[in-house]
Structure 1
Amino acid sequence: MNRPGCTPALCLLALLCAVAAGGCLSGERAGGEDIRPVSVEIEKGDIGPFYETAAAMDDRVVFTFVPTGANVSAYLVTYEVKREGSTVAAADGKYYDGVSASHPIVIAAGRSPGELVSIAISIKTPDGEVVYESASSVG
């Protein structure tokens, strides 16, 4: 995508739209229930060290946090997932090893059709440096 006027963020948006239009973010793929997204190579830049996707199905929501760099790293993750305002999953400094673009951080929660599911997350290096924070919801 080396078109004039195509910023990294705009290129990422176009790529995510193309993937979503192809059904790759539905959470199900031919041959099984693999909920991991397709591997994407993105240079670290304007979008930060991670980008986030959410896939909402009738019975669950899958939040995926994908590092934008090419390195494989370990992270400490603190999160709280709420369904209709009640906490359904939480972790404080959960250790994730081997995180990369092809093996992102994936957090799933069950839900009934139409329920609002939200997540607040903080991702840190093992040394305690915050590299990503986010709060989002799917309804």
Structure 2
Amino acid sequence: MIPSGRFMGSGRKQTCMNCPGRIPILCLLALLCAVATGGCLSGERAGGEDIRPVRVEIDKGDIGPFYETAAAMDDRVVFTFVPTGANVSAYLVTYEVKREGSTVAAADGKRYEGISASHPIVIATGRSPGEVVSIAISIKTPDGEVVYESASSVG
């Protein structure tokens, strides 16, 4: 049986004072764990590419009656047109969506009902990684008054 607190074969009691090399190793190990944990908790993925949609505010300055966001993923793009007022309204929407210059979706005076900040106009289209997708849009009241026009692209 080995007596408690003794190191076999040395005949001396083992303490940290007798092992000066152990403290720097423990400090380095703690530092390595902190750095590794920090990397695991960051929002970035390995490779530096983030797959979450990115919100892009297209209109700068005075926000006007609508603001536009675009979420670009590898397989699709989602354009969202959000009214800034508190009212729920109907709108007539004319738009053309192009992928690499070719029209893939279009509407002329399409009626959208019940549009509000919590239920915006959403136009989505598929895409291949890296493709440029653009949209030209005109939003009118049911009386024909233009309240928002925009042309934007993501790629």
Q: TM-score, normalised by structure 1?
A: 0.69
RMSD: 15.4
Matches of 1:6 and 1:43, distance apart in 2: 60
Q: 1:52 to 1:58 in 2, by over 3 A?
A: same
Seq. identity, %: 91
Whether the aligned pair in 2 keeps the contact of 1:26 and 1:55 (CA below 8 Å) is no
Considering fraction of residues, name the structure with more strand: 1
Q: 1:57 to 1:38 in 2, by over 3 A?
A: closer
Q: 1:42 to 1:92 in 2, by over 3 A?
A: closer
Greater alpha carbon shift after TM alignment, 34-43 vs 84-93: 34-43
Q: 1:54 to 1:2 in 2, by over 3 A?
A: farther
Q: 1:115 to 1:96 in 2, by over 3 A?
A: same
Q: 1:72 to 1:126 in 2, by over 3 A?
A: same
**Which protein shows a greater Rg?**
2
1:46 shift after superposition: 2.6
Matches of 1:133 and 1:2, distance apart in 2: 77
**Mind listing any 5+ residue stretches in structure 2 that lack a counterpart?**
1-16
**Mind listing any 5+ residue stretches in structure 1 that lack a counterpart?**
none
Q: TM-score, normalised by structure 2?
A: 0.62
3-state SS of 1:24 partner: helix
1:42 shift after superposition: 16
Moved over 3 A (4+): 1-45
